[in-house]
Amino acid sequence: MATPAFTFTPSTFQKLHPAEFFRRFTTEGVRPDGRLLDAFRPTTVHHGVISTANSSAMVRIGGTTVVCGVKAEVAEPKLDAPDQGYLVPNVELSPMCSSKFRPGPPSEQAQAVSEAINRVLKESKVLDLKDLCIEEGKAVWVLYVDAVCVAYDGNIFDAALAAIMAALKNVRIRKPTYQEGTIKVSGGSTATDENSFTLNLARAPLSATFAIFDTTLTILADPNVTEESISDGQISITLDETGLLCGVTKIGAASCSQSVMRDCVQSAKKRTLQLRAIMSQQ
């Protein structure tokens, strides 16, 4: 008696064998969502989404949405840097954005992304922290840069960094005065007050992320959450506005050849140029 054959619907096959399901698409040069392997998802940027912040922005890349708010507060400077302020970035991934995240302390992924973005901002020297000094050794500005993911569908690094840079670009802080241990700021709205200042950003790094899939080292631009789950690793290429490399962030154990890395850098240059054009239109 012949053994009965089993057939699965595409959705069932995808659940049982996600990597094999995906591989059958990539061998044809496409993905299950219809994108080419090197295609990025539709992206939008909106400014001024939080009225109570010194600046804010919202970035949507496909199904991933990040809202960033910047809040300026007065603090004491560090003893070893009495004339420098602080820039404190943080990325939040809460259960609100995806069921894969749990309540409680920041997840390992959220901490890793926050540390990676903090490293990019520092090593790129985006901002001269001396510009945040109010009175040397007495008071400085600290900029809390909180990027909150409200919808997660992969590639949080690109979305969070873009939202942070879009928000920092439009920060406006009222000019303070320091008199006998007291700090006073000018009145009026920070958005229109003539006695306020904006940040002088020295560089504006943006990133493009690629997932490495399969033993053939198939490279997927802008991976969604499903593609992240079956990938062997991810590479984020960060470039400034002149196209100079600011850094490479690698997640996972997968490695790639120099030729593949060069292809990723070239693709990242095109992507970051496109992203800057989108940001300037808003």
- Dump pLDDT digits (tens) for 129-152: 999 999 999 999 999 999 999 999
* Terminal alpha carbon distance of the chain: 68
pLDDT at 183 over 80: no
Predicted pLDDT of residue 119:
95
Pick 260 or 1 by higher pLDDT: 260
Cβ–Cβ contacts within 10 Å for residue 242, how many?
7
This prediction's pTM? 0.90
- Dump pLDDT digits (tens) for 21-57: 888 888 898 999 899 999 999 999 999 999 999 999 9
Give the DSSP letter of residue 3.
P
According to DSSP, the β-strands at 233-239 and 206-213 are antiparallel
pLDDT at 14 over 90: no
Q: What is the CATH number of domain 32-280?
A: 3.30.230.70
CB 214 within 8 A of CB 18: no
Predicted pLDDT of residue 149:
98
